[in-house]
Amino acid sequence: MERAVFLDRDGVLNKSDVRDGLPYAPRTLEEFALLPGVVEATRRLREAGFRLIVVTNQPDVGAGKVQRSVIESMHDRLRAWLPIDSIEVCYHQDCDACDCRKPKPGLLLGAANRMSISLRDSYVVGDRWRDIAAGQEAGCRTILVDYRYEERQAEAPDFVVTSLSDAVPIIIGT
């Protein structure tokens, strides 16, 4: 069984637009930009032997606010920029009641099954309560990148950091 780091996309790998204390995902390729330190952080995680899997809710597609092709182009860029193994996406909205939309663990469970990943030896890094709840439900260790959003707070993450770069020493143990 392999170990993985499940990475939320917006707010962990790339910049989110924060308005009135709430994060919003980029809707255009021009708005899509990596956060500082992400390239080095993902390289270090890969060198430490972790599979890197992006797990992201993209409800703007289901809501008709952005075309799926734009999101897929963003993901093509992520694959070109970072050493990631897979990008798992939920395009649904909460009202769809699917199993893949975080806080449900469907994206993590599916990837773990396909890639022979030990969830108890893996981590979830996210910036919202939904990420932490999905990781906890899947049995992973959880790391919150805390931007102090004005929304529901994550309950009892294993660790709290201010960036993916700060999470790397926790994950690799150095």
**Beta strands, E only, 62-146:** 86-90, 123-126, 141-145
User: Looking only at Cα atoms, what is the longest distance across the chain?
Assistant: 44
Q: State which amino acid sits at residue 68.
A: R
Section 3-31 average pLDDT: 97
For the whole model, what pTM was predicted?
A: 0.97
Instruction: Check if the beta carbon of residue 127 is closer than 8 Å to that of residue 11.
Output: yes
Domain that holds residue 22: 4-172
Q: What share of the chain is helix, strand, coil (3-state, %, to 5)?
A: 40, 20, 40
Confidence band (pLDDT; 50, 70, 90) for 174? low
User: Do 12 and 126 form a contact (C-beta atoms < 8 A)?
Assistant: yes
Catalytic-residue membership of 166: no
User: With bands split at pLDDT 50, 70 and 90, how would you rate the model's confidence at 137?
Assistant: very high
Q: Does the annotation count 131 as an active-site position?
A: no
pLDDT in tens, 34-90: 999 999 999 999 999 999 999 999 999 999 999 999 999 999 999 999 999 999 999
Domain count, the chain: 1
**CATH code, domain with 80:** 3.40.50.1000
pLDDT at residue 14 greater than cutoff 90:
yes
